[in-house]
Structure 1
Amino acid sequence: MAPAGRLLLLLLLLRMRAVPSAVLHKGIGEPCEEHRECQSTCCTTSTLSPQKYCASLTVFRKCLSWQKPEGYPCSDHNQCRSSCCVTNNHNPLRFCTPRTVFLQCLSWRKPNRDYCSEHRECHSQCCLSLTEAAPARCRPRTGVLAQCLPP
């Protein structure tokens, strides 16, 4: 019976040696720095804080990082839930903005009578100077075909 007990003890010890590698992986919600630290192989941010945590994978086995909701400052489209990071007024800061009904990400443009230097700056897409000496301003489109023509 002693050899059977030793064999059982040896098997238990071998099994216990195999288990710690799985135990070393962190569970959902635990702080991490790299994907390989997590059981889910997904280490990502979950809030505005730069601290990363182990997170679960999506149904499609993707590891998605937390993205900012509308109104939060951003520097790139991929930081926003809407994938739309644009200016929303004269201020050069950019913010997460909702997409249009047609899923477009449109930048804010200057209203009529604002100073401009090129057409794409204006909401009307029309930047004209009334005289050679006057500075260019955003103007409404005119005519039957709504063209960018001086009045």
Structure 2
Amino acid sequence: PCEHHEECQSKCCVTNNLSPQRFCTPKTFFLQCLSWTKPNGYSCQDHSECQSECCVRSSQVPMQFCTSKTVFLQCVPWRKPNGEFCRSHSQCWSQCCLHVPQISAFRCSARNGILAQCLPL
């Protein structure tokens, strides 16, 4: 166990598992001193906590989890399906949040029209 880099022969004192305790560890091939990061599925609050550098909501549960990035290296959070209440386009899988006058609320809606736009029916 250690508290500061100077205590270690490698000059590298980092967290290397879920425990908050820090340990002396060797530096990487590029002489970096890297802390342990969480694999996918672990709860998180910030992208830097995850090996994937992607910490997002992955369901209706309000907690965030470490998740893989897409093939385009994007970190995409879970979005609501059509019919769910919404406040903005970004909350919906369809990227379309429209006002429904009959119930005086906004709901996620499917895109429509020839150009698949976010238009009211």
Q: Does 1:102 align with 2:66?
A: no
Matched residue SS, 2:6: helix
Deviations 1:73-121 (A, max 9, x none): 0000000000000001122210000010111111111111000011111
Aligned-pair identity (%)? 55
Q: Paired residue for 1:34?
A: 4
Structure with greater Cα Rg: 1
- Name the structure where helix makes up a greater proportion of residues: 1
Matched residue SS, 2:23: strand
For residues 84-99 of structure 1, the aligned pairs below 5 Å read 84-99=54-69
For residues 37-56 of structure 1, the aligned pairs below 5 Å read 37-56=7-26
State the distance in 1 between where 2:115 and 2:12 align. Answer: 54
Matched residue SS, 1:95: strand
Letter of the 1:80 counterpart:
C
For residues 2-151 of structure 1, the aligned pairs below 5 Å read 31-131=1-101, 133-151=103-121
The two structures, once aligned, show a CA RMSD in angstroms of 1.0
Q: Paired residue for 1:16?
A: none
State the distance in 1 between where 2:100 and 2:53 align. Answer: 39
Deviations 1:109-144 (A, max 9, x none): 111100001111111110012316421100011111
State the distance in 1 between where 2:14 and 2:100 align. Answer: 54
Matched residue SS, 1:136: strand
Runs of at least 5 residues in structure 2 that lack an aligned partner in the other structure: none
What TM-score, normalized to structure 1?
Answer: 0.77
Highest RCO, 1 vs 2 (Cα 8 Å, sep ≥ 6): 2
Letter of the 1:106 counterpart:
V
- Name the structure where strand makes up a greater proportion of residues: 2
Runs of at least 5 residues in structure 1 that lack an aligned partner in the other structure: 1-30
Moved more, 81-90 or 130-139: 130-139
Task: List structure 1 segments (4+ residues) > 4 angstroms apart after TM superposition.
Answer: none
